[in-house]
């Protein structure tokens, strides 16, 4: 192995890391099995900050003109553009938030910048053991554009221009992406492009195929997934939509559940893991006390406990012990506060950490205290709606 080859193998790229996280859930050869499917589809992980794509099929890459590295780690929004219908974008966003399937025609853009209409069909994939959403699978079926609808009217509108008739007439019976000869600007200006019945069936078939592969390979791995939620989500498991919302907050914080014994951590941000040097699976389910050590002032701990019992916010300066390589301690300016959900009752406590040394080198535009409180505010907004599911 040459020097350049060996040094390259030392570093996992971000792409490989995300793909690795995906494969870890399933048994070996999952990616190869998915690669064999002819369809265009992507798989996203709501538990990674930014809800990124963690798998993209060869069919997807071919359709959009991107390479695998350019797609993995990006959010699906990246393929939308200025003329993409805003209401359709909202439909997808809300389906994700409500953890339910959606099928909608939408305008997307290739790497070249050229627009194309496709039928977007997305389903949640649930873990059988804990009932939470593990992934979202999204299938893309290009629409030939035979029928178009304007708004909510049902008339099949055939435009008068010869060019469009040529485009449409010759391809009536084929399910392909629109021919390149069609004026792209016109494509963008269509209010809506209805998929044909056969295109809709294609999307259902594709979704089914992908789900079968995932189910089979999860079974082998002993952690079955399925298309329907088989059990109620366990109490200490947050909904994927809450996790997605929390994933947008870049600062270090945790959510703890005061209703569970010993008030365990139910969410930890990436920044918290970086600050403390722990891995996510090491902290979830644990009480925060693992961050305290020999020299942590017990009166401060007592003060915190009192505030929690009274349901009041408080800020303390506390000595914490990290799990970073140097096992260093750090002064943590910690702010905790109770957070209510839609019922109006306290559902969680949020703890926002601020390393004391960082206090002075914070952004000169926003005071560190304000930044810390903004995390509390963002968590309140996210949690406030987290129980508001439509019936």
Partner 1 sequence: MLLKIKRVPAVVSNHQKDETAEEEEGEGCGRNILSKCCINVERLPLYTCKPAEENVTFLESLLLGEWEDRFQRGLFRYDVTACETKVLPGKYGFIAQLNEGRHLKKRPTEFPVDQVLQPFDVNKFNFTKVSQEELLFQFEADLPLEAGNSPSVVAINVSPIEYGHVLLIPQVLDCLPQRIDHKSLLLALHMAVEAANPYFRVGYNSLGAFATINHLHFQAYYLAMPFPIEKAHSLKITTTNDGVRISKLMSYPVRGLLFEGGNSIKELSDAVSNASVCLQNNNISFNILISDSGKRIFLLPQCYAEKQALGGVSSELLDTQVNPAVWEMSGHMVLKRKEDYEGATEEKAWSLLAEVSLSEERFKEVNTMIFEAIGCSAEEEEEELEEESSISGGFIRVNCCISVKEEAVSN
Work out how close the CB of 94 gets to partner 1 at its nearest, in angstroms, rounded to a whole number: 5
Residue 107 and residue 84 in contact, taking contact as beta carbons nearer than 8 Å: yes
Work out how close the CB of 87 gets to partner 1 at its nearest, in angstroms, rounded to a whole number: 8
* Closer of 132 and 335 to partner 1 (Cβ): 335
* Closer of 129 and 191 to partner 1 (Cβ): 191
* Closer of 139 and 382 to partner 1 (Cβ): 382
The CA-CA-CA angle for residues 22, 215, 58, to 5°, reads: 55
Work out how close the CB of 348 gets to partner 1 at its nearest, in angstroms, rounded to a whole number: 12
Work out how close the CB of 317 gets to partner 1 at its nearest, in angstroms, rounded to a whole number: 18
Question: If you write DSSP's letter for every residue of 334-378 in order, what string do you get?
Answer: EEEEEEE-TTSSEEEEEEE--BGGGGTTS-SSS-HHHHHHHHHHH
Work out how close the CB of 110 gets to partner 1 at its nearest, in angstroms, rounded to a whole number: 22
* Closer of 94 and 184 to partner 1 (Cβ): 94
Cα 34 from chain centre: 20
* Closer of 292 and 374 to partner 1 (Cβ): 374
* Closer of 121 and 192 to partner 1 (Cβ): 192
* Closer of 98 and 282 to partner 1 (Cβ): 98
Determine the length of the chain. Answer: 391
Residue 196 has phi, psi (to 5 degrees) of -75, 165
Work out how close the CB of 323 gets to partner 1 at its nearest, in angstroms, rounded to a whole number: 28
Work out how close the CB of 342 gets to partner 1 at its nearest, in angstroms, rounded to a whole number: 5
| Tokens at 178, concatenated | 């629109």
Is the C-alpha dihedral spanning 342, 343, 348, 351 positive or negative?
A: positive
| Tokens at 354, concatenated | 């601020």
Rg (CA), the chain: 25
Question: How far, CA to CA in Å, does 341 sit from each of 15, 262, 346, 348, 381?
Answer: 36, 20, 6, 8, 9
* Closer of 6 and 343 to partner 1 (Cβ): 343
Work out how close the CB of 33 gets to partner 1 at its nearest, in angstroms, rounded to a whole number: 36
Q: List residues near partner 1 by CB under 8 A.
A: 86-87, 90, 93-94, 97, 150-153, 155, 191, 245, 248, 250, 313, 337, 339-340, 342-345, 365-367, 369-374, 376-378, 380-382, 384-385, 388-391
Cα–Cα dist 89/93, whole Å: 6
Cα–Cα dist 191/194, whole Å: 10
Residue 341 and residue 383 in contact, taking contact as beta carbons nearer than 8 Å: yes
């Amino acid at each position: 192995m040459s020097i350049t080859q060996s040094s390259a193998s030392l570093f996992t790229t971000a792409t490989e890391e995300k793909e690795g996280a995906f494969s870890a859930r399933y048994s070996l050869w999952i990616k190869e099995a998915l690669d064999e499917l002819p369809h265009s589809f992507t798989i996203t992980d709501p538990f990674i900050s930014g809800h990124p794509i963690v798998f993209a099929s060869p069919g997807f890459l071919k359709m959009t003109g991107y390479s695998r590295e350019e797609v993995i780690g990006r959010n699906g929004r990246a393929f939308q553009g200025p003329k993409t219908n805003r209401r359709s974008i909202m439909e997808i966003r809300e389906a994700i938030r409500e953890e339910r399937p959606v099928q909608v025609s939408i305008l997307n853009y290739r790497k070249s910048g050229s627009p194309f209409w496709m039928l977007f069909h997305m389903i949640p994939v649930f873990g059988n053991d804990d009932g939470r959403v593990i992934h979202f699978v999204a299938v893309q079926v290009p629409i030939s554009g035979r029928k178009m609808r304007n708004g909510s009217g049902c008339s099949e509108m055939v435009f008068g221009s010869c060019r469009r008739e040529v485009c449409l007439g010759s391809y009536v019976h084929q399910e392909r992406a629109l021919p390149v000869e069609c004026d792209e600007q016109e494509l963008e200006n269509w209010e809506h492009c209805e998929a044909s019945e056969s295109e809709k069936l294609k999307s259902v078939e594709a979704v089914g195929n992908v789900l079968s592969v995932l189910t089979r390979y999860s079974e082998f791995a002993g952690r079955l997934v399925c298309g329907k939620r088989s059990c109620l989500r366990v109490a200490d498991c947050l909904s994927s939509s809450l996790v997605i919302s929390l994933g947008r907050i870049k600062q270090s914080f945790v959510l703890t559940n005061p209703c569970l014994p010993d008030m365990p951590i139910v969410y930890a941000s990436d920044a918290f893991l970086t600050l403390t040097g722990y891995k996510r699976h090491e902290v979830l389910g644990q009480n925060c006390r693992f961050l305290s050590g020999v020299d942590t002032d017990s009166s401060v701990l007592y003060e915190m406990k009192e505030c929690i019992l009274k349901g009041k916010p408080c800020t303390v300066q506390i000595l914490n012990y990290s799990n970073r390589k140097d096992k260093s301690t750090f002064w943590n300016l910690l702010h905790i506060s109770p957070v209510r959900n839609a019922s109006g009752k306290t559902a969680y406590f949020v703890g926002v950490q601020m390393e004391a040394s960082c206090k002075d080198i914070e952004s000169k535009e926003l005071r560190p205290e304000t930044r810390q409180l903004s995390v509390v505010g963002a968590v309140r907004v996210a949690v406030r709606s987290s129980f508001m599911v439509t019936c």
